[in-house]
Amino acid sequence: MNTVVQPSFDAIAFKSTTRAQWQAAADAWHRWGPFIGNWLGEATETMFDLARIGPGCRVLDVAAGAGEQSISAARRVGATGHVLATDIAPALLERAASDARKAGLSNLETREMDGESLDALPAGSFDAAISRVGLIYFPDQQRALTGICRALRPGGRFAAVVYSTPDKNGFFSIPVRLIRERAQLPAPLPGQPSPFSLGAEGVLEAAFAKAGLREIEVRKVASPVKLPTAAECVRFERESFGALHQMMFKLSDAEKAVAWQDIEKALGEFESARGFVGPCEMLVGVGVVPH
């Protein structure tokens, strides 16, 4: 009897593709920075509060992207504090560093680093760590969490923002579903990251606890995506969401165009005379490194 060999998820190839996609999307993600900062403003402030980021803190930002939240953290910690913004895509970090210089902030440093490989950071060198919509895309989330915990001092706090469940995030889950259908993608392989991988009830808490974090708390933050039209939401996602482009990788240009048309039509249900309001709910989780 023949044995059927199940395909396995290739984390190395995934990271390579992810890096390339974010390198290509860096300009667009940076341009959308003010909108993203407003959209995720309440979740970001909640993350800062739960991480207890204040004057003098040393903060590690993992998967910092173009650094909008890194700069906000740098302002919070002040001249006596320090923020290290890390990301896998140097093009994003270049924009973060440039914005920090323009803002007159000398307490923000950027460094190209894989969030799953933080061994180069001295153990116990940070008071707090943050990750805004980054942890969900790590193939090995436990490796990332272990590295983050190692970099934190005893009593240090890690706070992350992640999406909750697909039904609470129609602005994103609908495009994901439609692209998956059109590209005839199979179900995600074991270990394959997804936007909603930490969103189900108790999953984020369990991941934090497995990594050894204590005093875990998770808060839900309504974060509706407000734009003039559904077409503008599609433009935002088309220019900025590398995950959607990864899913479309095997589609022809014509097929991609049709997919985006389908997405705009579907997202039209969230558009009214008052504009587009796409459903979005974020989870903000925090845990403490034990003494």
How big is the chain, counted in residues?
Answer: 291
pLDDT of 4 above 60 = no
> Across residues 104-130, what is the average pLDDT?
97
Helix axes 41-51, 68-77, angle to 10 degrees: 40
pLDDT tens by residue, 119-146: 999 999 999 999 999 999 999 999 999 9
* pLDDT tops 90 at residue 190: no
Q: 64: Cβ–Cβ under 8 A, 6 or more apart, which residues?
A: 70, 85, 86, 87, 92, 93, 96, 110, 134
Instruction: Please tell me the predicted confidence (pLDDT) of residue 21.
Output: 82
pLDDT tens-place string over residues 255-277: 999 999 999 999 999 999 999 99
Structure tokens at 70: 């890194």
pTM of the model: 0.94
pLDDT(1) > 60? no
Indicate if the pLDDT at residue 175 is higher than 90.
Answer: yes
- Mean of the per-residue pLDDT values for the chain? 94
> With 50 as the cut, is the pLDDT of residue 67 above it?
yes
Q: What would the DSSP string read from start to end of 4-34? A: PPPP---HHHHHHHHHHHHHHHHHHHHHTHH
What is the pLDDT at residue 5?
A: 46
Give 10 or 219, the one with higher predicted confidence: 219
Distance CA 60, CA 158 (A): 9
Distance CA 195, CA 181 (A): 17
CA distance 72 to 96: 11
The three-state (H, E, C) secondary structure of 98-126, written as one string = HHHHHCCCCCEEEEECCCCCCCCCCCCCE
Which range (33-37, 183-187, 254-258) has the least confidence?
183-187
Structural domain spans, the chain: 11-173+189-226+280-288
For 11-173+189-226+280-288, which CATH class? alpha beta
The whole-number pLDDT of residue 7 equals: 59
